[in-house]
Structures are given as structure tokens and as C-alpha cells.
Amino acid sequence: MHYPTPHLRVFFLLVALCSAILVPLTIPQRVLADRPNFVFILSDDVAQGDLGCYGQQLIATPHLDQMAAEGTRYTQAYCGTTVCAPSRSSFFTGLHSGHCPVRGNYEVPPEGQLPLPTDVVTIAEVAKSAGYATSTFGKWGMGFFETTGDPFRQGVDRFFGYNCQRHAHSYFPTYLYDDAQPFALPGNDGRTIGKTYAQTLIQDAMIRWVKDHADEPFMLFYAITLPHGRHEIDDLGEYDDKPWTLKQKSYAAQVTRTDSDVGQLLQTLRDTGIAENTLVVFSGDNGSSFNSQSEIGKRFDQASNGLRGFKRGMYEGALRQAAIAWWPGAVPAGRVSDQPWAFWDLMPTFVELSGANVPQGYETDGHSLVSFFKGGDAPQRDYFYWELHEGNLPSQAARFGSWKAVRNGFDKPIEVYNLDRDPGESRNIAAKHPGIVSKAESIFAKAHRPDPNWPLNGRSEQRIKVSQQAWAIKRQRDKSGWIPENAITADSLPENSQSD
């Protein structure tokens, strides 16, 4: 038998050591390549009644209708709560609005909304812990730059769009943000139809980012501002000659623009070969945004689903939103499900999909929807819970089984409805079911975590004072067409941020 010489033994030992070092470095990248991307598209104020796949006949939404045909459409998917900042914060934190640190629209000067705190774990932080690239395009609304809610302090690698949701009311703003750098949009005054449509820049930047990250796992939060008011658009398209009001034409064009932009994103996923490795969830941030008898609500029959209520309410018409899941080969095509789920379920869903070892402090009120999205049943739970702090009387709601309880103010009586028998919540049967009222009271008490910003027994005077100050600043800026002093011009943006 021949034994290796001492020199050869040293050589073999070095090879073995190098292999031991290199293998752990290469395995994670191979594993990461098999993890699905996650895209959450949140269309601001779009309702079930706006989309053809839910029955809309006047507004064209061919791409979303195709998305529903290729994926699964949900009739009882619930938002975080029924206004903007707390609804998206519920998704981003995985917490329902009794635990979420943002439970209402709270303006903070000089710009932006109440920031997410440092200690809350966000879905972007979970994504980064699992090796995902992360981004938000569109509207942030969860804290201004250099606060604790700065997107870059909450796990986001790339941001493009509006930081402040009030600023996002203009589709022709005087400036947007490229990461944290403001850039001016010449030809826009922020008050009227101008030269540069913000959604075009946001869409183009988002598509570029997806293409640039197609070869690595990513988490994309696409917070489209359309079709929220103001109802402004650069092209009325097929609705230009309709015998409707300008507001109605603009709204329809906004919804169709949302549809075409989602279509372009899905086609980009196909073209880059990553569609089969990407879960896309499309949703609105609340149910119907308009009274059924309003100019838009009546024209487009937004209450065609027969549900009661609209934005800022606690009835089903305000809480259920349009929702579609799309993942070729994984999410069943053509399925329509009436089993309920909510925004705060998306955090644990992503944790399961990504295989993330969650950061310290991780908390969620949700349940993973992976099996459900792939064709199984929705997870069982004790209840869904919502609260909303708008005006003087915060409101609460809970759903447990087929029962729905609503309290429109802390000092108001609890209303009870049976959703199986009365989905339109037309008959309050609390008097006949004292046991259900008691159970609702117990849920309301258990689900609400006390927070000085969000007292249930009235207004937070400090919060109201700060918001009023922020509003005064905003009104003054609107009049002056204000642009941040450090804003660069759009022509000076780096190549990867300019509009095509």
C-alpha cells in the first residue's frame, strides 16, 4: 500500500479545509434561488365593484380579469382597516389594528405620517433576514425620512415615489423621492394637471427594479396611488367621449391605468422567466370608497356586491376589498373563494414561503395562507378584529364565525349581525343574542392593546394638535407650490431612476 508523502498530505488537508469553507458559502445562494419572490400590489381605494372580474361592466380591467382567471379571486378578503395609513401598516407589520402602532391617519409635520416605531418587526425586515432584496414603490405613509418610520430603517432597500400620503393626493406633484432624495418635476404645480404624471415615473422605476433583481429573491411592495382622489390623469383614453362627468371619466381611466400597469408587471415577470417563482397578491386598501348614491358610487354601482358601508366605516362594504392571488403552477387558476383572510395574514405567509428565521421581536396576529393560496382551506381562527381612530369616536368591529359585531364609538351599543343570513348587515339582532354581545365585548377588550395615541374613550388631544399643525403646513405649501430646498431636477436623476 502506498501512502501520500507529507507534501501531498498537506495538499489534501488544504483542499478539504477549502471545501469545508466554500460549501457553507454556496449552499445558501442555491437555497435562496428556490425561494419564491413575493409581490404585494396595494391599489389605493380600488373596490370590488371597480373590477370586471367582480362584475363591473363600465370600466375595462382586462389584465386584472386575466389575473383572476389565471389565479384565485377572493370575495371575503379583509383590509387592515378602512383608511390608508393603518391599513398598509397592518400589512407591513402583520398586526391587526388593535395591536398595530398605526390605527388612524395621523399627520406629522413637516411631512409624512406617524412613523412606525423602531421595535416593530416589518415584513421588509423579515425579507432582508432571509436574504431578499426589498423595495417599495408608490406611496409610503409610514414615517418620514430620518424618523423611526424611515423606509430604510424598516427594512426597505429601494424606495421611489411619495413619502407622505397627503402629498400623494396630487398626481402632478412638484416633487417625488428617489430613495430619500427629493427631485423636482418641472411643469407641475401640485394643484392642477401638469406636465409629468407621477404614476408614469413610479411604474417605470418599479419595472426597472424588477428586471434588475430577476436573478435573486425579492420582496416588492407596490403601493399604487391610483385610483385615490384627486381624480387626475394624463389621458382619459376610451372614456373621453363618454356622457359622464369629468370626475367619473377620470376615475374610470384611473382604474384602467391601474389595470394596464399591473398587466405590464405580470408580463415582465413572464418575460424574465420568474413568473412561476413569484407569488403576486393584488388588493385594495379598503372596500368601497364612496357612498352608493354618490357621483362615482352610483355611476359604477360600487355596492353591487350587496354589502353595507364604505370607507371609514366598520361594515362589510368597507372592510372587504378586491383581492386576487396569482402564482402560475401554485395558485389554482379560476378559483373563486369565499373563505375569509386579512392583511395581517400576509406576514406569516411570507415567513413560511421564504423560510426566514424571523428577527427578534417578531410578532403577528396572522396565520400563514400558503396552503390556502395553493388550494386548501383558509386557516381556522378565533376572530378577526378591527378598530379605527377617526374623529371623536373610535370604532371597533369583530368577526367570529358567521357573527359580526360593530361598535361605532366606545359609548355606543354593540350591533350584531349574522353574515350567513344577512351579508348586507341590514338587521341588528343584538337584542336577541345577549351571549353574542358578551362574546363581542370580550373580543373587543382582548384585542385592543392600550396605546396613548389611540385611546378608545375619546381623542388623543396631543395627536390631534400635531395633525392640525401638519395640515396647516400642508395648506400653505399647496398654495405656494412648495418644493424641498435640496430637491434636484428630474433631469439630474441617475439613469436607473429616470422615466423611460
Domains of the chain: 36-380+461-497 (3.40.720.10), 387-447 (3.30.1120.10)
pLDDT at 199 over 90: yes
Which amino acid, residue 132? Answer: Y
Average pLDDT of span 46-73: 97
Average pLDDT of span 386-413: 93
Q: Which residue has the higher pLDDT, 290 or 461?
A: 290
Q: How far is CA 71 from CA 36, 207, 323, 334, 368, in A?
A: 16, 21, 11, 6, 18
pLDDT band at 92 (very low <50, low <70, confident <90, very high): very high
The answer to whether the CB of 173 falls within 8 A of the CB of 185 is: yes
**Exposure of 455 by Cβ count < 10 A (0-12 exposed, 13-18 middle, 19+ buried)?**
middle
pLDDT in the model for residue 422: 98
Q: Which residue has the higher pLDDT, 13 or 481?
A: 481
Average pLDDT of span 60-81: 98
DSSP secondary structure letters along 338-377: ---EEGGGHHHHHHHHHT--PPTT---S----HHHHTTSP
pLDDT in the model for residue 27: 29
pLDDT in the model for residue 180: 97
Average pLDDT of span 337-341: 98
Q: How far is CA 437 from CA 11, 64, 281, 457, in A?
A: 77, 40, 35, 19
pLDDT in the model for residue 282: 98
pLDDT band at 464 (very low <50, low <70, confident <90, very high): confident
pLDDT at 492 over 70: no
pLDDT at 489 over 90: no
pLDDT in the model for residue 493: 60
pLDDT band at 494 (very low <50, low <70, confident <90, very high): low
> Please, which residues bridge with residue 282 across strands?
41, 324
pLDDT at 386 over 80: yes
pLDDT in the model for residue 500: 34
pLDDT at 443 over 70: yes
pLDDT in the model for residue 410: 87
Average pLDDT of span 335-350: 98
Percent of the chain whose pLDDT exceeds 70: 91
pLDDT at 360 over 60: yes
pLDDT band at 32 (very low <50, low <70, confident <90, very high): very low
Average pLDDT of span 309-331: 97
pLDDT in the model for residue 181: 97
pLDDT in the model for residue 495: 53
pLDDT in the model for residue 480: 84
- Calculate the average pLDDT of the chain: 91
